[in-house]
Structure 1
């Protein structure tokens, strides 16, 4: 098990820290730490604060992903999805939201706006070579195996 440390930022004491909403949930819901309601118009994107910063072990990354309910009901999703938070980042976690829906969407303080999943990042060593090993697929890509 990995331990992730969370620090509430000043003035954000009542905004919930990330939390799982069910026992087997994969992600931790993130809450908006906006000072006042924020309107996200159709086609508009905004960076929404969460009111916390964190420290996690070097073996982890945090991925920010959309909430399915917001995406389905309102067309609200995350740009750069999944967004990656590196283990050495110590600034406030923020969520880049976009409104792909037809109506303005109002983000209220404390509202659940995204989810965060933690993933193990494998240690990888890059090696430059002159030739790569062959495979059956070879260089085929972008739909070469069908539609």
Structure 2
């Protein structure tokens, strides 16, 4: 079983909690955001994370919640693969597929963190620091230079 560690960056929505039977842990949008028709944005979720399995960290998924379909937004990359060494802010690449404006409110949940084997996290905790890694905070193509 794996442990999800969250390191919030000024986002008061995150709290440690006992896991449920859900495969994913919802992430919260930290600020109000307006998407113009057809607009694409990289939306920070206000937290960094690490998934710990035994004595090591593990890769994990950033996936859309099923309810995102009600908004007209979709993840541009369908699903995000988060490498085990990534320590930067979790960011969802979102696209407004509608021909009208979409408003997202602070605290809305659009995406979720899912363990790589889709099992429920044994524990979810808010931490003051994440395990160090060689990768650090570089994201979105930073390893393919």
Tell whether the structures are fold-level matches, with TM greater than 0.5.
yes
Question: 1:74 maps to which residue?
Answer: 71
Q: Is the 1:19–1:30 Cα contact (8 Å) retained in structure 2?
A: no
CA displacement at 1:59 relative to structure 2: 5.8
Task: Output the CA distance in 1 between the equivalents of 2:17 and 2:95.
Answer: 23
- Cα contact 1:19–1:28 (8 A) shared by 2: no
Residue 42 to residue 31, structure 1, CA distance change in 2 (3 Å)? same
Judge conservation of contact 1:79–1:98 (CA < 8 Å) in 2. Answer: yes
| Structure 2 unpaired stretches of 5+ | 118-145
> How many residues get paired?
114
SS at match of 1:55: strand
Question: Does the Cα contact within 8 Å between 1:18 and 1:28 map onto a contact in 2?
Answer: no
Describe the superposition over 1:39-86 as per-residue Cα deviations: whole angstroms up to 9, x where unpaired: 112211111111111222356222112222221x23211111211111
Give unpaired runs (5+ residues) of structure 1. Answer: 121-147
Which structure has the higher relative contact order (CA within 8 Å, separation 6+)? 2
TM-score by length of 1: 0.67
Distance 1:33 1:19, change over 3 A: farther
CA distance in 1, matches of 2:17, 2:48: 14
| Structure of greater Rg | 1
Higher strand share: 2
Shift of 1:2: 1.6
Query: What is the distance in 1 between the residues matched to 2:98 and 2:71?
Result: 6
